[in-house]
């Protein structure tokens, strides 16, 4: 008798589980706030080279415009983690560098190089130490402004 009830309970639990998974799956938009992940081949690509430098050295930031329009100003931020692992406040923007020529760069603009990109250089300050990132703003259309980051590490100078 006990084994018969156990089998019926398993079927009942399986049916409830299937029902709950279906209910959650059909209501996923309500749970996620209509968030959808999409691969966007038009989003700009930002790369920093070299990825690791010593404080006071120069970095090059390449902005591949692709299908978006990009702000020519590249902002540099401290991420809040020093090279020894200590976490401190990020303190906001640390620097910015601007590609001269236009107020925005869009796909195919004549000021861009043959890879549809531009590169700016920045001499880091001697007191920089830790994880940093560059931020580039872009527009996919006239109403949507977003940004992309590219991370790099600055080692402190040895004294």
Listing DSSP states for 26-85 in one string gives: HTHHHHHTS------TTS-EEEEESSEEETT-EEEEEEE-TTSEEEEEEEEEE-SB-TTS
End-to-end Cα separation, the chain, in angstroms: 81
Q: How far is CA 31 from the centre of its chain?
A: 24
Superfamily of domain 45-155: Macroglobulin (MG2) domain (2.60.40.1930)
Q: How far apart are CA 46 and CA 148, in angstroms?
A: 7
Three-state secondary structure call for residue 13: helix
Q: Is the pLDDT of residue 8 over 70?
A: no
User: How many CB atoms lie under 10 A from the CB of residue 28?
Assistant: 10
DSSP 87: B
43 touches 136 (CB < 8 A): no
Give per-residue pLDDT as tens, 101-139. 888 999 888 889 999 999 999 999 999 999 999 999 999
Flag the least confident range among 32-46, 47-61, 70-84, 105-119.
Answer: 32-46
Give me the pLDDT at residue 56, please.
94
Q: What residues contact residue 93 under an 8 Å CB cut-off, 6+ apart? A: 75, 76, 77
**Whole-structure pTM value:** 0.71
Give me the pLDDT at residue 90, please.
77
145 touches 155 (CB < 8 A): no
Give me the pLDDT at residue 46, please.
95
CA distances from 22 to 11, 26, 125, 157 (A): 17, 6, 56, 58
| Higher per-residue pLDDT: 61 or 102 | 61
């Amino acid at each position: 008798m006990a084994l018969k009830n156990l089998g019926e309970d398993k079927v009942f639990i399986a049916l409830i589980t299937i029902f709950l998974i279906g209910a959650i799956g059909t209501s996923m938009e309500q749970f996620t706030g209509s968030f959808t992940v999409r691969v966007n081949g038009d989003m700009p690509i930002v790369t920093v080279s070299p990825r690791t430098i010593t404080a006071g050295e120069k970095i090059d930031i390449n902005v591949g415009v692709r299908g978006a329009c990009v702000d020519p100003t590249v902002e540099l931020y401290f991420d809040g983690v020093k090279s020894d692992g200590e976490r401190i406040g990020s303190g906001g923007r640390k620097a910015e560098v601007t590609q001269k020529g236009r107020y925005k760069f869009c796909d195919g603009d004549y000021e861009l190089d043959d890879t549809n990109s531009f590169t700016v250089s920045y001499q880091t300050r001697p007191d920089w130490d830790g994880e940093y990132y560059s931020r580039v703003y872009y527009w996919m259309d006239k109403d949507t402004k977003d940004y992309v980051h590219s991370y790099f590490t600055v080692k402190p100078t040895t004294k």
